[in-house]
Structure 1
Amino acid sequence: MIDVSTKQSRARFYTSNEWRRLRQSILERDHFECQWCKAEGRVTTDAVLEVDHIKELAQYPELSMEPSNLRTLCKDCHNKRHNRMNYRGVAKKRKWQDEWWG
């Protein structure tokens, strides 16, 4: 089982040749299309594509290289999935209410 408990160990995992090969095969399997956008009838052709672990890597490290636990998502959908604030359609949260340059 892989170690993903530290930032360094996750970086080693994501830069490994084994992961890079698997990532490429998942992108090809999914026809280089975001699976969430595709399910909604949208085609994403100019988006940055990422490979997402359906069951989180931190909780299920044994599924880290399991193709059935991986899917292609565009960056916007991947950010939305992980509740990151920079995804399309959602305003970036401001630190101060009077910030006008955000």
Structure 2
Amino acid sequence: MIDVSTPKARHRFYCSGAWRRMREQILKRDNNECKWCKAEGRVTTAKTATLEIDHIKELEYHPELALEPSNLRTLCHDCHNKRHDRHRYKQFDDETFEF
């Protein structure tokens, strides 16, 4: 099984040839498009955004699925951040700002 138990081990995994080959395979399978954007009718490709490969079942908890194509999908950087709740977007109304 692939060791992804520490940040250093995960870094080694993401730098490995096996991951780089799988990443290219998934990008090709997904037509180099963000799957979430496409589902919403938008086209987001490497020409307009950074594309990343998402582990549907997270790598940290399911290392046995690290290189399983059915557990991987292409997302743009923004969708990947939303998926992992990395950015909290505050809602502001127009009165919040003074012009």
Quickly name the TM-score band, shorter chain normalised: 0.7 to 0.9
1:13 match: 13
The alignment's C-alpha RMSD in Å is 1.0
Unpaired runs of 5+ residues, structure 1, are: 92-102
**Number of matched residues?**
88
Which one scores higher on RCO, CA 8 angstroms, separation ≥ 6?
Answer: 2
Question: 5 Å matches for 1:79-90?
Answer: 79-85=81-87, 90=89
TM-score by length of 1: 0.83
Deviation at 1:41?
0.5
Runs ≥4 residues deviating over 4 A: none
- Normalised by the size of structure 2, how large is the TM-score? 0.86
Matches of 2:61 and 2:6 in 1, distance apart? Answer: 13
What's the % identity of the aligned pairs?
68
Matches within 5 A, 1:72-83: 72-83=74-85
Deviation at 1:75, TM superposition (A): 0.1
Secondary structure, counterpart of 2:32 in structure 1: coil
Greater share of helix residues, 1 or 2?
A: 2
